[in-house]
Amino acid sequence: MTIGFGVIGAGMIGTEHARRVNNVLTGGEVVAVNDVNAEGAKRLADSLGGNVKVFDSGHDLINADNVDAVMVTSWGPTHEEFVLSAIKAGKYVFCEKPLATTAAGCQRIVDAEVAAGKRLVMVGFMRRFDSGYRLLKQAIQDGEVGEPLMLHCAHRNPEVGETYVTPMAIQDTLVHELDVLRWLLDDDYKTVQVVFPRTTRHSHSKLRDPQVVLMETVKGIRIDVEIFVNCKYGYDIQCSVVGEDGIANLPEPQSLLVRKDAKLYTTVLTDWKKRFVDSYDVELQDFIDGIGSGDLPGPTAWDGFCAAVASDACVKAQETGNIEPVTMPARPAFYD
């Protein structure tokens, strides 16, 4: 059986995901496309070949008979309504982050899915599907470094533009750590704090860069994440798990080891799109396979909600300078 995909949002990520489904992965095929920009939708449909129907309305697309699964890759503020509409229609839905722009919106989706009584929603936190993070999780589960006590992490970009302002370091950047570290540790956040080193000269007036986010989990694990989005030298994701018996570090991306110009070096990526490109393949294939088997993988709507709550607490901590609690309702048994 081939899963019929309807794609809402024909921008860069939607286009890439659509081609991924059609050309790289097995078991799925794009059958419908919608975009707020009708030209863009048509262009994507044409590029995918014959039988892709263009819809003027995302909701109509969701309700089309041959659409088994919806891919929400539209503008962030529209995610919530399309995900809710898909749940209402009983359709599977893969939603790029954010699941919703507010924790309240995420909560509404969680409530709808629980009410529907069936796992339908998967959120596009792709790092869980990265081979490096998976090695790290496996090592933790195997007790290779003992019980985790601390995580030292970094999320560095070479540079950002003028539109990237202080809270975006949390909402757009840290949010990936907020999801993947919960998953890595099988734990939840209890408190967060943000401290600001002096700002790099490469930043601008509306962005405090770098920032250090300090978190404590329910289990008592301490996490520090350096966010540095004008680090100049590269796109660099670090994660070091300090356990009772040893320390395990996320692998560096594959690179030649070169001796040249008085240096012995590996190459650091500069384009973030290359860092997790393989993860998108795994993520979407798992989504397709999960539909087939009736056992949808995470990240769930609940995970999207948790990331939103933690993100809100971090933004508050940016503003107050205090140690802020991360207040969460109990996890519905539905998500156990």
Residue 9's alpha-carbon distances to 58, 95, 157, 329, in angstroms, are 9, 11, 26, 32
Contacts of 93 (CB under 8 A, 6+ apart): 69, 70, 71, 72, 82, 83, 86, 87, 120, 121, 122
129 binds a copy of itself (CB under 8 A): no
Taking CB under 8 A as the criterion, the residue among 60, 81, 111, 216 binding a copy of itself is 216
C-alpha to C-alpha distance for 54 and 1, rounded to whole angstroms: 23
Under 8 Å between Cβ of 71 and 280: no
Count residues near a copy of itself (CB under 8 A). Answer: 67
329 binds a copy of itself (CB under 8 A): no
C-alpha to C-alpha distance for 76 and 218, rounded to whole angstroms: 30
Shortest gap between Cβ of 230 and a copy of itself (angstroms)? 8
| Binding positions for a copy of itself, 269-328, rule CB under 8 A | 269-270
131 binds a copy of itself (CB under 8 A): yes
> What is the three-class DSSP state of 122?
strand
143 binds a copy of itself (CB under 8 A): no
CB nearer to a copy of itself: pick between 75 and 265: 265
Distance of alpha carbon 149 from its chain centroid, rounded?
Answer: 24
| Binding positions for a copy of itself, 20-59, rule CB under 8 A | 23-26
Taking CB under 8 A as the criterion, the residue among 48, 112, 136, 160 binding a copy of itself is 136
Residue 86's alpha-carbon distances to 7, 32, 51, in angstroms, are 12, 14, 22
Q: Minimal CA–CA distance to 191: which of 79, 310, 87?
A: 310
Shortest gap between Cβ of 145 and a copy of itself (angstroms)? 6
| Binding positions for a copy of itself, 194-213, rule CB under 8 A | 195-202, 210, 212
162 binds a copy of itself (CB under 8 A): no
Binding site for a copy of itself (CB under 8 A): 23-26, 131-132, 135-136, 139, 144-147, 149-150, 152, 195-202, 210, 212, 214, 216, 219-222, 224, 226, 228, 231-234, 236, 242, 244-252, 254-270
